[in-house]
Amino acid sequence: MKDLLDIKYWIFDLDNTLYNGQTKVFSEVDKKMSAFISKKLNVDLIKAKEIQKKYFYDTGTTLSGLMKYDNIDPHEFLEFVHDIDISWLPKDLLLRKELIKIKEKKYIFTNGSASHVTNITQQLGIEDLFEAAFTITDADFIPKPSLEYYKKGVNKFNLDPKKSVLFEDICHNLKEAKFLGMKTVWLENDEPFASKDKDKPYIDYKFKGPLSSFLQKINILKAA
């Protein structure tokens, strides 16, 4: 981990990264996606779920497939699916504590919307700890894991990839970031799609446990 001590830019995915995937926050978004597809394409929820997953696997995000095949307005989709109640999600005081200890600049890179970033970070109690967020709208709706997404992100904030680290819950989202020169950290999980590339060489670090525990280890090394 010593090669992370000189990192200048700390980049975090949002969903299932800043919060534990077991909290099922994203399952609420998932339900809204199915409901949106069911209504817009006039299909039942079972068929909507099939379309949702097919588009996700084929194009990188459900939204990309809806835009490509069904001419769906991306803004309408994002507004609907990210309108979720997560008032039950507790504040993460330990994560806040460890993020505060990292004095370098911190960013969020997500395939979600700005409103979703605000909703999640405010509920976790960490909304004031990031320089900025790079969202799917900022990326002109080109999603991770594409190289273009990351190029747009680092250019927007003038980041040096070789002085950056990216934290992700989905293995293959780290590939192009590593190609640009970033250090990469995969937060281990058992979700088949997220873990199918877990043995690829573009993953520098794997960590099973909450993000706060990994950051705590880094902060202990920094203080030594």
- Mark whether 163 and 114 lie in a shared domain: yes
Number of domains in the chain: 2
Contact 24, 86 (CB under 8 A): no
Residue 190: what pLDDT?
86
Residue 146: what pLDDT?
96
- Mark whether 43 and 118 lie in a shared domain: no
- Mark whether 68 and 99 lie in a shared domain: no
Residue 115: what pLDDT?
96
For the chain, 224 residues long, the average pLDDT of each consecutive 10-residue run is: 94 95 86 97 97 92 95 96 94 98 98 97 98 98 96 98 97 98 95 92 96 97 90
What separation in angstroms does the CA of 166 have from each of 30, 127, 170? 24, 18, 11
- Mark whether 67 and 118 lie in a shared domain: no
Q: What CATH number did the domain enclosing 119 receive?
A: 3.40.50.1000
> Which residue blocks in the chain are alpha helix, DSSP H?
25-41, 45-59, 62-70, 74-81, 93-101, 114-124, 147-157, 175-180, 192-195, 211-223
Please name the amino acid found at residue 193. F
Burial (CB count within 10 angstroms: exposed 0-12, middle 13-18, buried 19+), residue 188: middle
What separation in angstroms does the CA of 156 have from each of 30, 62, 144? 29, 25, 16
| Residues paired with 55 in a beta bridge | none
- Mark whether 29 and 129 lie in a shared domain: no
Q: How far apart are CA 179 and CA 158, in angstroms?
A: 17
| Residues paired with 207 in a beta bridge | 187
Domain carrying residue 173: 2-19+90-223
